[in-house]
Chain A
Amino acid sequence: MFKTFPTYTSLYERIWYYGFRLFCGLVFVFLMFPILVILPLSFNAGDYFTFSPEMLRLEAEGYSLKHYRDFFFNSDWHLATYNSFRIAPMATLLAVTFGTLAAIGLSQSHVPYRKVIMAVLISPMIVPLIISAAGMYFFYSRIGLQGTYIGVVLAHAALGIPFVIITVTATLVSFDKSLTRASANLGAGPVRTFFKVQMPLILPGVISGGLFAFITSFDEVVVVLFVGSASLKTMPWEMFNGLREQISPTILAVATVLVTLSILLLTTVELLRRRSERLRGVSAA
C-alpha cells in the first residue's frame, strides 16, 4: 500500500502521489459502484430500492429470492427472455457471416473506393440509434417488415456489422498472407485454404466480433421499440417499460442476471484477445 520513496522526494510530491491514486480510486468506485450496488439490492425482501435496516444488519429476513421468482415465473418476462434469445443469435449469425466475408475482401490490396465502403459499413455504429430506428420504422413499414421477427433481426444485424468488421479487420492486419500462398502451392483450393488455414487463425477476431454483435442486439432497445411489436418485446424493452412506468425491484433481479451474462462475455473476449496476442507473438518470432 505505502510506497517507499527515495529520500529526496519532497512532501509535496508524496501528497501528489497519494492524491492522484486516491482520485483514480474514486473514479474506479464511480465506475463500479452502481453495478455492484444493485447486486445485493436485488435480494431485497421488501419492495424498496434501498437497503432496509434488516439488510444492513445482515439478518436473513432482510433477504429473499422473491424478485428472482418473479422474473422466472412471470409470463411477460418469459416472453421477453424467449424473444431476446431468439433475436440476438440470428442477428449475430447474419452479421458475422456477411461481416467476415466483407472484412476479408476489404483486407486485400487495391480495393476500389475502400474508404467510402468502410465509411458506409461502419456508419450504423455512428448514426444515433433514434435516427436509425426512425428510418427503419418508416422504411420497414413500406416493405411490410415492421413488427415482424425478420424485420427486428435484419435491423439488429445491421447494427452489429460494424463491430464484426472492426474486429475481423484488426486480426487480418497481422495475418501472414504467405500462408495462403503456401497452402495454394500445396494444392489446396481457395475454399479449403479459407477453412483450413485462414479461418482458424482469424477465429478469435471473428468470435469477439460476434460477441460484440450479440451484445449489441441483446442490449438494444430503441430499434426494438420502433421496429418490433408487443409480441416481439425483448428483455431490454421490458426493462425500459418497467423503468418508465411502475418501477418494480424485479428489474434489479433481471439486471443482476444480465450483469452475470456480461461478466461471462467479457471473460471470453479477454481470453480470446490474449490468445490472439500470444499467437501473434509466436508468428512474429
Chain B
Amino acid sequence: MRALLLIAPLLAFVLITFVMPIADMLFRSVENGIVSDILPRTSAAIKDWNSQGVDDLPHENVYRNLLVDLTIAVKRRTQTRVGSRLNYEAAGISSSFRRVGRGLRSFNTEPYSNYFIHQDENWGDTGYLEQLFSNPRISAALPSSASAFRTWQTDFSSDQIITPDDFVFVALASDLSTLANDKVSDLGIDSLRTAHADIDQLSTSSIKHMFIEFDKNWGDVNLWKTIKTFSPRYTDGYFLNAVDLKRGIDGVERRDQSERIYLVLFVRTAVMSLTITVLCILLGYPVAYLLAHLPLRKANLLLILVLLPFWTSLLVRTSAWKVLLQQEGVINDILVTIGLVDDAARLVMINNQFGTIVAMSHILLPFMILPLYSVMKTIPPSYIRAARSLGATPFTAFWRVYFPQSLPGIGAGSVLVFILAVGYYITPELVGGVKGTFISNRIAYHISSSLNWGLGAALGTLLLVAVLILYWVYDRIVGIDNVKLG
C-alpha cells in the first residue's frame, strides 16, 4: 500500500504529461468531426441518399440544408475548413466550397421567407418563432429549422432586426416537406398546417437548381458521394490513406500510382533501420569482444571512447557528419589529396541514403556495444579454453561455444538499435535529403506543414504499434527491469 502511494504521484504525472497526449494522437487518427460539425444538417439529410447512377443527385432538401449550413459556416468563417478536409479525399473539392461560400449572397432565397410571411405575418416575428420552438415537441419534429433559428439568434440577430434571415425559412421548408400530413396535424399549430399544405409550391425556386447553376460541380454525383462518405463522426479514411488505400466510390481501393507514397516509405524506414542495425552488429561485436577480453583498466579507458559519443549531443554528432560528408567537406578533401577521387568528381555522400545510414550507425553504435559488452563480460573464458583443449580450432571454439552465449547481447542491442532507428527524425531530416528520410519526417511534415493532422496521427499510430511490438519483444529478451545505462 505504501509502495503504491510512492508510485502514484509519478504515475499520475506520466499519465497526464505523456500517456494522455499519446491517447489524443490515437483519437485524432480516427476522429472526423469537421464535416459533421460544420455541415450538421447536410450530414443528417444525406444519410438516406444512395445514388443509383450519375443522374441520381441528392434530394432538393439536401441542397436546402447545405445552403443553411454554408450560410452559418460563412458567417463563422469555417466553410474553408470543410473544403480542405474533403480535399484530402478528392482533390478539387476545396475550390467548390470556397467559390460557393463567396457566391452564396447571390442565391435568391427570398421566395422562401415570402412564402411564409405572406401566409401569416407572425412568421416574420422573432418572438413568435421563439415561442414556437420552445415547445420541445415542435423542435423535435422540425430539427433543422429549430437549430437554424437558435444559431440565427446567437450569431446573426441584432436588436434592430426582428425578422429572421431567409436561411431559417429555407430550413423550415426542408423540415416541413419531409413531414407527413398527420404528423403536422398532431402538432396542433394552425400556421404550420397551412404552411405544410402548399409547401410544394416552393419547388419552383429550387435551391438545388441554384447550386448547379452557380457551379456545375454541385451537380456531380461524386462530390456528393465524398461528402456522404466523410460525414460520419469517425473514419478509417486516414488509416486507409496511410497504407495507400482510399475509400473510393465503390468501396476501398488502391490509390493511383502517383499517390502511393506511404508503403514505400514504411518499407524504406524498415530496410534502412535494418541496414543500420546490421552495420552496428558488424562494427560493434568485435569492439565489445575486445573490451570484454582486455584487462579491466585498459577496457575502462577504451570504454570512454564509446561513452563519449554516447554522451555527446545528437545535434553535435549530426552536424559533425554534415561537415565531414559535404562535397567541400573533410572526407572529400582527404580523398582528393591522396588522389583517390578526382577534384571534379567529388563524392556525393550527403542528402541521400548513404548519409543517413553512416550518421545513424555512428549515433546508434554505442547502444549496440554497451549491451553486447555487458553480456560478454559474463561469459566465462574457461569455456573457450575447454573447447580448445578438446581439439576445436579457434574458429569452431568461437562459433560453437562463444557466439551462442553472446546471442542475448546481440538480441538486446539489435532490438534497441532498431527501435531507436525506426523512430529517428532529426538525423534523417538534416542529412537524408529526399531519398534518405524516414516515416517520422513525413509525420512531422503533416503535423507542422500540410496540417493534415489526421493523416499524421494515423501514420504515427502505425509506427507506434510497430515500436510497441518491438518493445514487447525487447521485454521478452532482456526484461525492462534489466535495462542498463552507461
Contact = CB atoms under 8 A, between A and B. Distances in A.
Given A49-B323, A255-B320, A128 B6 contact: no
B24 interface: yes
Given A23-B286, A31-B365, A108-B3, 14 more contacts: A33-B324, A51-B330, A106-B3, A128-B422, A130-B443, A138-B21, A138-B28, A138-B457, A215-B311, A221-B315, A262-B311, A262-B312, A269-B486, A270-B307
A247 B3 contact: no
B140 interface: no
14 contacts: A27-B286, A31-B366, A49-B330, A102-B6, A111-B4, A120-B11, A121-B11, A131-B464, A134-B444, A140-B21, A222-B444, A239-B319, A263-B311, A265-B311
Residue of A138, A215, A255, A269 with most chain B CB atoms under a 10 A cut-off: A138
B484 A252 contact: no
Interface string B18-54: 1111111100100000000000000000000000000
A30 B10 contact: no
Contacts of A73: none
A161 B14 contact: yes
Nearest to B453: A138
Contacts of B475: 119
A179 interface: no
Contacts of A88: none
B183 interface: no
Contacts of A124: 14, 18
A43 interface: no
Interface residues of A, number: 94
Contact of B22 (A35, A94, A127, A263): A127
A5 interface: no
Given A135-B25, A266-B308, A243 B333 contact: no
A244 B429 contact: yes
Contact of A244 (B2, B22, B425, B430): B430
Nearest to B359: A34
A118 B481 contact: yes
A244 to B, nearest CB: 7
Contacts of A128: 422-425, 440, 463-464, 467
Contacts, number: 269
A157 B13 contact: yes
B180 interface: no
Interface of B is mostly: helix
A274 B13 CA distance: 32
Interface in B335-358: none
B205 interface: no
Contacts of B464: 127-128, 131
Contact of B316 (A120, A158, A258): A258
Interface stretch (B78-86, B103-111, B298-306): B298-306
Given A102-B10, A135-B24, A266 B306 contact: no
B13 A158 contact: yes
Interface stretch (A63-71, A166-174, A195-203): A166-174
B477 interface: no
B318 interface: yes
Interface string B250-288: 000000000000000000000000000000000110110
A255 B307 CA distance: 17
A191 to B, nearest CB: 13
Nearest to B366: A31
B222 to A, nearest CB: 32
Contacts of A259: 312-313, 316
Given A27-B283, A49-B328, A134 B25 contact: yes
Nearest to A261: B313
A105 B463 contact: no
Given A23-B286, A102-B6, A105-B6, A131 B309 contact: no
B31 to A, nearest CB: 10
B317 interface: yes
A170 B10 CA distance: 18
Interface string A1-23: 00000000000010010001101
A34 B305 contact: no
A136 B419 CA distance: 20
Contact of A166 (B4, B18, B457, B484): B484
B317 A34 contact: yes
B17 interface: yes
A92 B286 CA distance: 36
Contacts of B323: 37-38, 41, 49-50, 252
B326 interface: yes
Interface in B439-486: 440, 443-444, 447-448, 453, 456-457, 460, 463-464, 467-468, 471, 474-475, 480-481, 483-486
A228 interface: no
Nearest to A112: B4
A37 B286 contact: no
Residue of B18, B425, B468, B480 with most chain A CB atoms under a 10 A cut-off: B18
Given A24-B290, A124-B14, A130 B425 contact: yes
A98 B10 contact: yes
A251 interface: yes
B318 A20 contact: no
A159 to B, nearest CB: 8
B311 A126 contact: no
